C-alpha cells in the first residue's frame, strides 16, 4: 500500500500496451521502492505491444508479464502524479494532483528501429520525473 512518504505515479495512455508500460517499467527499475508505480489505459488492448517488450528487453527491463489495465477513477485518486500520453479527455482530473502530459509517438504498429527512440525519450523523462520526486 502506498504511504504518505512514498509517492504514487500513474502512467496513462489509450491502450496501456506501449508507452505507459515502458514508462512504468523504467520507473520501477530506476525508482525501486522509493515510488509506487501504476499504469492504465482508457481503452486497454488485450496484450502488451510485443515490440515494446522487445525494446525494453534490450535495456534489461522485462515488461513481458504485464497486462493492460483499464483506467479507473480510483487509480487516479490514489496517485500523487498522473502522467498522460495521448488519452486526452478520457483521463479524469482531480484537484490537488500533479498532472503532466507527455507528447510521445504511439509505438503501435512501428518496428523496433522506430520504437527505440520513443523508449529512450521515455527513459529520459522518467529519470527527470524521479529526480523531481526526490
**pLDDT digit string, tens, across residues 12-37:** 998 999 999 999 999 999 999 999 99
Estimate the crossing angle of helix 112-133 against helix 50-58, to 10 degrees: 70
- To the question of pTM greater than 0.85 for the whole model, the response is yes
Positions marked active-site: 13, 87, 91
Question: Burial code of 27-61, b = ≥16 C-beta within 10 A, e = fewer?
Answer: bbbbbeeebbbbbbbbebeeebbebbbebbeeeeb
| All structural domains of the chain with their residue ranges | 8-129
Cα→Cα distances 60→55, 68, 71, 114, 116, Å:
9, 21, 27, 18, 13
- For 52-71, the pLDDT digits (tens) are 999 999 999 999 999 999 99
8-129 CATH fold? Rossmann fold (3.40.50)
Average pLDDT value for the chain: 91
Amino acid at each position: 500500500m502506498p504511504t504518505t512518504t512514498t509517492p504514487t505515479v500513474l502512467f496513462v495512455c489509450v491502450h496501456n500496451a506501449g508507452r505507459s508500460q515502458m514508462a512504468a517499467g523504467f520507473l520501477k527499475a530506476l525508482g525501486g521502492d522509493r515510488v509506487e508505480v501504476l499504469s492504465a489505459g482508457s481503452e486497454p488492448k488485450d496484450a502488451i505491444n510485443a515490440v515494446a517488450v522487445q525494446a525494453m528487453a534490450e535495456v534489461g527491463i522485462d515488461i513481458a508479464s504485464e497486462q493492460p489495465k483499464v483506467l479507473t477513477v480510483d487509480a487516479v485518486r490514489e496517485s500523487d502524479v498522473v502522467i498522460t500520453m495521448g488519452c486526452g479527455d478520457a483521463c479524469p482530473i482531480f484537484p490537488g494532483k500533479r498532472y503532466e502530459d507527455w507528447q510521445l509517438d504511439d509505438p503501435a504498429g512501428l518496428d523496433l528501429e522506430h520504437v527505440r527512440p520513443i523508449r529512450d525519450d521515455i527513459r529520459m523523462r522518467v529519470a527527470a520525473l524521479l529526480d523531481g520526486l526526490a
